[in-house]
Structure 1
Amino acid sequence: MTRRRAIARTPGVSAIAVAVLAAAVLAPVLWVARSESPLHPPGVMATGAAVRAIPPRPDAAFALTVRHIYDGDTIQAEIQHPNDIVTSSAPIRIRLIGIDTPEGTPAPECWADEARRHLAELLPEGSTVWAAPDRDTWDHYGRRLLDLWTDDGRFVPYELVAAGDAQAIRIRPNVAHDDLFTAAQAKAQAEARGRWGVCP
């Protein structure tokens, strides 16, 4: 009787052994598969636990022609086809949303010339720039508040912050990309890019 009980338990022991062996074989495979999967898809940046998308040019964006670069965050442009947001083809002054660059006048601040030069490279005079609003479309200086993309799709304010040319600022209600700019600035500061490696 004792012998029968021992024999009856043997299949259970074998099943446990097989399960343990299978787990030992599969664990490295699963770990490799997990480690080889991408941390985040193209078109996004990751900082800490958060993943922040760099926005593509929206379908509703409208085209303007760049006429002048005032400094690293302000341009003059003319709309190519007037619409409900910009109703006249007269030149308008546009302030980029969510960023601030060193002032160029009356006396240039540290990194003002470099920031202006980078913006001029992104948006040469005569080139097409694409614009879209956030919430408020005017500031108290009478400038238009718009997000801007280059003709080849680069998000202009992000490019400036990521290069260390601009500082992220949060002015409600236009805060749609605040997290993206804050993360880009933190990375630029950590790597001493642009103004963060030179200016006091």
Structure 2
Amino acid sequence: MKKERVFEGMRLSRIVVGLFVVFLCACAPVEQEVTEGILASDALFWDGQFIVADVERVVDGDTIRITNLNVDYVSDAQLVEELLQIRTPLRVRFLAIDTPEWTNEKQWYGKESTELVQQLLSEENVVIEIDENADFDRFDRLLGHVFTTQGVNVQEELLRNGLARVAYLYDDYQYVDMYIEAEAAAKDEELHIHSIPDYVTERGFDMSVVE
């Protein structure tokens, strides 16, 4: 009888310990889990410099605001210092593309481009890869290539769906060949912004052709 009570107590102790471990796992920071998931499953981010963050808001099709920045994977010490000094939320501008406006000004397909970004970043976490030839623009927005936590390039998706144009190529940025190819495919299919003759220009989007 005494031996059975000892075994009963041991079983109860194991159950309590097990529940405690589950509780600790449930309380682990989401940001850490997301980061470890990316590092473990997607080699895309191993060679570059990237930030893992929470999406505070999708402003429009080519701009988001982020908070809770994890800069552990940025090797540029000066950039890390700048990022840590910035009061969040930090605005991020999608590098090498331009989408129709959907803030103060309403342009055709601005709503659709914004909604696509909201859909892609619906998990609220985002990965910003820093290009070696760009960091901040003149409006103090962080420039970068934007990825979902599954490794989907948001710029490429916007271009492929005819909701963005390749733009602002002031240097030799990464992924530009891929972006141009995605834009060309959308043009061939006359998707969204490419369905309106002369709407897409080198300077942006000409609303006079649709008004």
Q: Is TM (by shorter chain) over 0.5?
A: yes
Q: Give TM class, smaller chain.
A: 0.5 to 0.7
Name the residue aligned to 1:188: 186
Q: Structure 1, residues 131-163: CA drift from partner, whole Å, max 9, x if none?
A: 111122000111000111101110111111011
Tell me, yes or no, if the aligned pair for 2:163 and 2:193 is still in contact at 8 Å: yes
Name the residue aligned to 2:120: 122
User: How far apart, in 1, do the equivalents of 2:154 and 2:184 lie?
Assistant: 18
1:131-142 correspondence to structure 2 within 5 Å: 131-134=128-131, 135-142=133-140
User: How far apart, in 2, do the equivalents of 1:56 and 1:117 lie?
Assistant: 28
Alignment partner for residue 153 of structure 2, among 152, 155, 168?
Answer: 155
CA positional deviation for 1:70: 0.7
User: How far apart, in 1, do the equivalents of 2:124 and 2:101 lie?
Assistant: 24
Name the residue aligned to 1:67: 56
Aligned length: 145
CA positional deviation for 1:63: 0.7
Tell me, yes or no, if the aligned pair for 1:98 and 1:170 is still in contact at 8 Å: yes
User: How far apart, in 1, do the equivalents of 2:181 and 2:52 lie?
Assistant: 28
TM-score (norm 1): 0.66
User: How far apart, in 2, do the equivalents of 1:57 and 1:71 lie?
Assistant: 26
SS of the residue 2:100 aligns to: coil
User: How far apart, in 1, do the equivalents of 2:171 and 2:194 lie?
Assistant: 27
Name the residue aligned to 1:172: 170
- Bigger mean CA offset, 87-96 vs 137-146: 87-96
User: How far apart, in 2, do the equivalents of 1:179 and 1:170 lie?
Assistant: 14
Tell me, yes or no, if the aligned pair for 1:56 and 1:155 is still in contact at 8 Å: no
Query: Structure 1 residue 98 and structure 2 residue 87: aligned?
Result: no
TM-score (norm 2): 0.62
Aligned residue identity for 1:141: F
Query: Structure 1 residue 57 and structure 2 residue 55: aligned?
Result: no
CA positional deviation for 1:196: 1.4
Higher helix fraction (1 or 2): 2
| Structure 1 residues without counterparts, runs of 5 or longer | 1-54
User: How far apart, in 1, do the equivalents of 2:126 and 2:182 lie?
Assistant: 22
Name the residue aligned to 2:33: none
Larger radius of gyration: 1
Taking only aligned residues, the RMSD between alpha carbons, in angstroms, comes to 2.2
User: How far apart, in 2, do the equivalents of 1:138 and 1:198 lie?
Assistant: 33
Change (3 A) 1:70 1:61: same
SS of the residue 1:87 aligns to: helix
Change (3 A) 1:179 1:198: same
Change (3 A) 1:130 1:62: same
Aligned residue identity for 1:77: I
Aligned residue identity for 2:166: A
Name the residue aligned to 1:41: none
